[in-house]
């Protein structure tokens, strides 16, 4: 699908719907721009919509009482932002903020729940995606505890790239620091190490990956675990 022609099928969950379900659901979706840094949800606020990112990436952050934050998962064109709505929670303790600008498709929460309760293909897609998201959250917690900042930075880069159509990211040091839950100086050191290894170029918030195989070799096993589980649960094909 060309980037110049926005369409719900740019999101893999929506693209996996059988034709009859897509015909019913797509007219209910609203195209929305997703500017960098835009907050979709705040902790504890009742959700009224879900979002299917198409060309954007959303970071799910846990924010502490003192304002410190750390990323617990990222969602891009592989998934949906707002799983609490169909899981029955209606609210979440995390914040959802746009990590990479682009666009998404928004769906009213009640319309989503109505479709979910039909127990058809959409329900099966959403439940499988939720399991993959839980895996990503669990692996992120393990990674933050046991692996170096360099490895975490590489994992974060690879997960982000998997959800974009290019090898470039626009991201400030401050935002990366908030994602990884570290000081800006730590991001500067990690990015510098990876750049000196010849894997990326990093200048004024622009990150370009020039050696993806090298980046995969430098990261920890957490990236592969998350990707394998997503690929296992969501082959994104009909017959779900």
Q: Are residues 25 and 102 in the same domain?
A: yes
Q: Are residues 139 and 194 in the same domain?
A: no
Tokens of 156: 């974060």
pLDDT > 90: percent of the chain: 50
Looking at the domain assignment, is residue 237 inside a domain? Answer: no
**For the chain, what is the domain count?**
2
Greater model confidence, 77 or 91: 77
Closest CA to 12 of 165, 168, 170, 140: 165
Q: Are residues 207 and 108 in the same domain?
A: no
- The Cα 146–Cα 164 span in angstroms is 27
Q: For the stretch 91-122, what's the b/e string if a residue is b when 16 or more beta carbons lie within 10 angstroms of its beta carbon?
A: ebebbbbbbbebebbbbebeebeebbeeebbb
Strand partners, 17: none
How much is the pLDDT for 2?
Answer: 43
Last residue of a domain, one of 95, 126, 143: 143
Sign (positive or negative) of CA dihedral 77, 93, 232, 228 = positive
For residue 54, the domain's CATH number is 2.60.120.10
Looking at the domain assignment, is residue 57 inside a domain? Answer: yes
Looking at the domain assignment, is residue 206 inside a domain? Answer: yes
Q: Are residues 119 and 158 in the same domain?
A: no
Which of these ranges, 6-10, 63-67, 73-77, has the smallest mean pLDDT?
63-67
Contacts of 133 (CB under 8 A, 6+ apart): 73, 75, 79, 83
Q: Are residues 17 and 116 in the same domain?
A: yes
Q: Are residues 81 and 190 in the same domain?
A: no
For residue 160, the domain's CATH number is 1.10.10.10
Q: Are residues 133 and 172 in the same domain?
A: no
Looking at the domain assignment, is residue 227 inside a domain? Answer: no
Q: What range does the domain containing 200 cover?
A: 148-219
Contacts of 6 (CB under 8 A, 6+ apart): 31, 54, 55, 103
pLDDT(189) > 90? no
Q: Are residues 99 and 201 in the same domain?
A: no
pLDDT in tens, 78-119: 999 999 899 887 788 889 999 899 999 999 999 999 999 999
Q: Are residues 133 and 160 in the same domain?
A: no
pLDDT(180) > 80? no
Q: Are residues 70 and 139 in the same domain?
A: yes
How much is the pLDDT for 203?
Answer: 82
Looking at the domain assignment, is residue 161 inside a domain? Answer: yes
């Amino acid at each position: 699908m060309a980037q110049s022609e926005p369409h719900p099928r740019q999101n893999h969950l929506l693209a996996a719907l059988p034709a009859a379900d897509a015909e019913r659901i797509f007219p209910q979706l609203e195209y929305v721009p997703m500017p960098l840094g835009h907050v979709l949800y705040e902790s504890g606020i009742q959700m009224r919509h879900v979002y299917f990112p198409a060309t954007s990436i959303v970071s799910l952050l846990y924010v502490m009482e003192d304002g410190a934050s750390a990323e617990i998962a990222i969602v891009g064109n592989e998934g949906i932002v707002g799983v609490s709505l169909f899981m029955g929670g209606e609210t979440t303790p995390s914040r959802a903020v746009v990590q990479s600008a682009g666009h998404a498709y928004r769906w009213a929460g009640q319309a989503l729940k109505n479709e979910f309760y039909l127990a058809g293909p959409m329900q099966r897609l959403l439940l499988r995606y939720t399991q993959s998201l839980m895996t990503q959250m669990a692996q992120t917690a393990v990674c933050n505890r046991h692996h170096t900042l360099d490895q975490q930075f590489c994992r974060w880069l690879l997960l982000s790239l998997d959800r974009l159509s290019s090898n470039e990211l626009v991201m400030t040091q401050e935002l990366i620091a908030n994602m990884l839950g570290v000081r800006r100086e730590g991001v500067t050191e990690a990015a510098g190490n990876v750049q000196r290894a010849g894997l990326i170029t990093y200048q004024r918030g622009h990150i370009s990956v020039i050696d993806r195989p090298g980046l995969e070799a430098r990261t920890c096993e957490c990236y592969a675990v998350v990707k394998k589980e997503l690929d296992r649960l969501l082959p994104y094909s009909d017959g779900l």
